[in-house]
Structure 1
Amino acid sequence: MASPADVQRLQQIRVRHADASTDWSLSADSKAIFARVVPGTPPVAIVESTDDCDWPDRDFLIGAHSDISFLLRLLKDAFDEIRRLKPRHDPHLVDRRRREYEEKPKDFAAECAMKCSDRLFRRYLVECHNVPDVADNERIAVSIRNILRVKSRGDLNTDPAAQARWLDFRASFEAWRAHP
């Protein structure tokens, strides 16, 4: 995350770049740097280099405007991609998702069916509820219906008493699982 000072400096660079002359070039004698100060007019000398200004420095100065233009474009493209990939934080969205989760009715029947497929849950049925055969899904389902005293697992979603029995049964399994 950029600091406020960094944001301000980047803005100043953009302004200086936009205000600066363009089309920089080196004179035939390699001493003066020319630029187009006003669009549509011929370039004029804007810098005279001394004998101590070697070719790498002249080349750097000549390319400065176009290099900064290139870097600013890359920076803009990177920021655009980051904004596209990273959704903005919306505190209302977090609250809305929490409310939707809390308001969504629990599907205890589906939860029970998933537990019946769990190897550890099957072991719990054998060890704590004397279920003789847990190799067959239908036998497990019959055993669960008998233990919870329901006609179908769907009753777990519609009958408050069945829901309470399921929640107690599930809590008992979780306690057993913590110390099998």
Structure 2
Amino acid sequence: MSSPADVQRLAQIRSRHADASIDWSLSADGKAIFARVVPGTAPVAIIETTGDCDWPDRDFLIGAHADIEFLLRLLNDAFSEIRRLKPRHNPHPVERQAKPKDYAAECAMKCNDRLFRRWLTECHNVPDVDDPERIVVSVRSILRIKSRGELNTDPAAQARWLDFRASFEAWRAHP
């Protein structure tokens, strides 16, 4: 993205180019550069070159106006293409994607839920649901995971958790 200084400089270049004389040419003796200062009038000498001004520099000066015009046209074409391809700011942005589920945290909360503990005892024969550590170890064993963190990183563990949770929800609906 252009800085404000770049935008200002480009505007100045465009302004100088628009105001500059046109039809630059070299005099017959190769010492002066002529340009048409006012449209419809004869060219006048605008630059006197010295003996140290070699042909490449004279050629550069003679072609400067036409070269800048060419480059500005290319730049305008490029900007037009960028604007065409770049999506416009949408005043109705698409809603952000939902934050990924934290199944590990969900599992930890369920392990503290009294009804979930009862379900573990009745449906999975988990003994001593009053011991929080035994519940955590039992759930990890049932889900075949080493830590609850795997529920957020391992798709297979996530699938087992979702099935396990669905079984609990079905039991809870009809205890």
Normalising by the residue count of structure 1, what TM-score does the alignment of the two structures yield?
Answer: 0.54
Deviations 1:14-67 (A, max 9, x none): 000000000000000000000000000010000000000000000000000000
1:23-102 mapped onto 2 (5 Å cutoff): 23-90=23-90, 92-94=91-93, 97-98=94-95
Query: Where has structure 1 moved over 2 Å in runs of 4 or more?
Result: 172-175
- Structure 1 counterpart SS, 2:159: helix
Could you tell me how far apart the structure 2 residues matched to 1:64 and 1:46 are? 13
Q: Which residue of 2 aligns with 1:176?
A: 160
Deviations 1:102-142 (A, max 9, x none): 9xxxxxxxxxxxxxxxxxxxxxxxxxxxxxxxxxxxxxxxx
- Structure 2 counterpart SS, 1:98: coil
RMSD of aligned Cα (Å)? 2.5
Structure 1: runs of 5 or more not aligned: 103-171
Offset of 1:176 from its aligned partner? 1.8
- Structure 2 counterpart SS, 1:93: coil
Could you tell me how far apart the structure 1 residues matched to 2:160 and 2:28 are? 89
Deviations 1:69-119 (A, max 9, x none): 0000000000000000001222x321xx339x99xxxxxxxxxxxxxxxxx
Identity of aligned residues (%): 74
Could you tell me how far apart the structure 2 residues matched to 1:45 and 1:60 are? 16
Structure 2: runs of 5 or more not aligned: 99-155, 163-175
Could you tell me how far apart the structure 1 residues matched to 2:30 and 2:62 are? 11
Normalising by the residue count of structure 2, what TM-score does the alignment of the two structures yield?
Answer: 0.55
Asked which structure has the greater CA Rg, the reply is: 2
- Structure 1 counterpart SS, 2:64: helix
Question: More helix by proportion, 1 or 2?
Answer: 1
The one-letter code matched in structure 1 to 2:92 is: L
Offset of 1:5 from its aligned partner? 0.4
